[in-house]
Amino acid sequence: MVIVIQCKDQVGLVAAITGVLAKAQINIVSMREHVDTVDNRFFVRIVAEGNSSNAVYLQQQFQAVLPEDADIKVNPIPEKKIAVFVTKEYHCLSDILIRNHFKTLGATVQCVIGNHATLQNICERFDIPFHLVSHEQKEKTDFENELVNIISRYTADYLVLAKFMRILSPGFIKKFAGRIINIHHSFLPAFIGANPYKQAFERGVKLIGATAHFVTDDLDEGPIIAQQIIPVNHSFTAPDMVKAGKEIETAVLAKALHLVLNDKVFVYRNKTVVFE
Query: How confident is the model over 242-263, as a mean pLDDT?
Result: 93
Position 7 scores a pLDDT of 98
**142 classed as catalytic:** no
Position 202 scores a pLDDT of 78
- Which phi-psi region, left, alpha or beta, contains residue 189 (left: φ > 0; alpha: ψ -120 to 50)? alpha
pTM: 0.91
List of residues 6+ apart from 95 with CB closer than 8 A: 250, 253, 254
pLDDT tens profile 93-110 = 999 999 999 999 999 999
Percent of the chain whose pLDDT exceeds 70? 96
Catalytic residue among 39, 142, 220, 240: 220
Phi, psi of 256 (to 5 degrees): -60, -40
Average pLDDT, the chain: 92
Residue-range domains of the chain with CATH: 2-75 (3.30.70.260), 80-262 (3.40.50.170)
* Residue from 191, 171, 183, 224 nearest 84 by CA: 183
The CA-atom distances, in angstroms, between 75 and each of 4, 34, 130, 251 are: 9, 20, 30, 27
Sheet holding 41-49, edge to edge: 27-36, 41-49, 2-8, 71-75
- CA 97, chain centre distance (Å): 16
pLDDT tens profile 7-28 = 999 999 999 999 999 999 999 9
Q: What radius of gyration, in Å, describes the C-alpha atoms of the chain?
A: 21
Position 149 scores a pLDDT of 98
Intra-chain end-to-end CA distance of the chain, in Å: 17
Q: In three state form, how does the secondary structure of 68-99 look?
A: CCCEEEEECCCCEEEEEEECCCCHHHHHHHHH
pLDDT tens profile 156-180 = 999 999 999 999 999 999 999 999 9
DSSP 54: G
